[in-house]
Amino acid sequence: MSERVIPLVDQRSRSRAINLPTQVVPATGLLGDALGRPLRDLRISVTDRCNFRCSYCMPKEVFDKDYPYLPHSALLSFEEITRVARQFVAHGVQKIRLTGGEPLLRKHIEVLIGQLADLRTVEGQPLDITLTTNGSLLERKAQALKDAGLQRVTVSLDGLDDTVFRAMNDVDFPVQDVLRGIEAAQAAGLGPIKVNMVVKRGTNDHEILPMARHFKGTGVVLRFIEYMDVGATNGWRMDEVLPSAEVVAHIQRELPLVQLDAAAPGETAERWGYADGSGEIGVISSVTQAFCRDCNRARLSTEGKLYLCLFASEGHDLKPLVRGNTTDEQLASAIAGIWQGRSDRYSELRASLPPDAASDGKRRVEMSYIGG
């Protein structure tokens, strides 16, 4: 069956207007949504551009040389991002992850990291500031990122076989350059480093064991992610999903594992340690085992739209408030009103769909636009 590619040029324009609340909502750090879930994690996309063309994220058929990326004037400035982030922190956010696109393509990203590193949680503690990258620019930027205040990086890497990796990134980028980037990040102290592998049945599932062998004992935490139905351009099909349970069983046959406790509330990865104590792996079962009930994450797009779920079909446009005459109190109250009304639980609802259903009929925002 051929993959269906759907252009998404107008998808970014879908958003809800935000009305300023008539009453100020105090920022106490205890904000909860309609299902009682706290706000703890903010993911910020700093660019909609990427230098890879992975078929499951930014397929070349859609994101070609004529694709209309957002103009620089449409992007939130670093100062605007920091202002928004400060309001989220006042409501309880403790962790900020910078994403893209490929975030290291945003010029002077170290300046933004430095500004975010100056923020403090409601308890007065530094934020946990992380960044997800494809690793292509990491070797040259790792030390500068660390010096600016970045604490950890997560690197997307879908296989060690150079032929497979070049085919998956679809720009003929060599895997060795990414591995050197990981080594540079380790040397700079950006750890513990996590490596995310999206597993697509029939494409790179034969790379599971080689990846496990390679990173075992290195201090790098390898995480296997189920191929997700994010957006509308990747031609997702359920028969290409390899359940995490099968991934664990496959590794167990050669490298014995023991299950570990969750690292933190709302943690998306199920943790497994090597029985000999030489490290751990994680599996993220976003298709076969929904974790909506503990989700404490919000997502801010590169031009200021707030998304409450990775699978959302529209966002809430904060940019008019950020660039208008609103006070910080008003901006914080608007954010509070949006979060308090949140009831998203797409992955749980997906479980009620027929086994071969590829979507619930809604056109969702692209992962390349709001990050993973």
> What pLDDT does 15 receive?
72
Pairing relation of β-strands 280-284 and 15-16?
Answer: unpaired
Q: How many CB atoms lie within 10 A of CB 188?
A: 18
pTM of the model: 0.89
Pick the CATH number of 28-370 from 3.20.20.70, 1.20.1300.10, 3.40.1210.10, 3.90.950.10: 3.20.20.70
Q: What one-letter code names the amino acid at 279? A: G
Q: Going residue by residue through the chain, which has 372 residues, state the pLDDT in tens, using 9 for 90 and above.
A: 334 444 444 455 567 778 787 788 889 999 999 999 999 999 999 999 999 998 878 889 989 999 999 999 999 999 999 999 999 999 999 999 999 999 999 999 999 999 999 999 999 999 999 999 999 999 999 999 999 999 999 999 999 999 989 988 999 999 999 999 999 999 999 989 999 999 988 889 999 999 999 999 999 999 999 886 655 555 557 778 889 999 999 999 999 999 999 877 667 789 999 999 999 999 988 777 766 888 999 999 999 999 998 777 789 999 999 999 999 999 999 999 999 999 988 666 765 555 444 444 556 566 667 776
pLDDT on residue 274? 97
Whole-number pLDDT of residue 229: 60
**Euclidean distance between CA atoms 2 and 92, whole angstroms:** 45
Give residue limits of the domains in the chain: 28-370
Secondary structure, 3-state, the chain: CCCCCCCCCCHHHCEECCCCCCCCCCCCCCCECCCCCECCEEEEECCCCCCCCCCCCCCCCCCCCCCCCCCHHHCCCHHHHHHHHHHHHHCCCCEEEEECCCHHHCCCHHHHHHHHHCCECCCCCECEEEEEECCCCHHHHHHHHHHHCCCEEEEECCCCCHHHHHHHHCCCCCHHHHHHHHHHHHHHCCCCCEEEEEEECCCCHHHHHHHHHHHCCCCCEEEEEECCCCCCCCCCCHHHECCHHHHHHHHHCCCCEEECCCCCCCCCCEEEEECCCCCEEEEECCCCCCCHHHCCEEEECCCCEEECCCCCCCEEECHHHHCCCCCHHHHHHHHHHHHHCCCCCHHHHHCCCCCCCCCCCCCCCCHHHHCC
Interhelix angle 109-117/78-90, rounded to 10 degrees, is 30
- Backbone torsions φ then ψ of 117, nearest 5 degrees: -65, -20
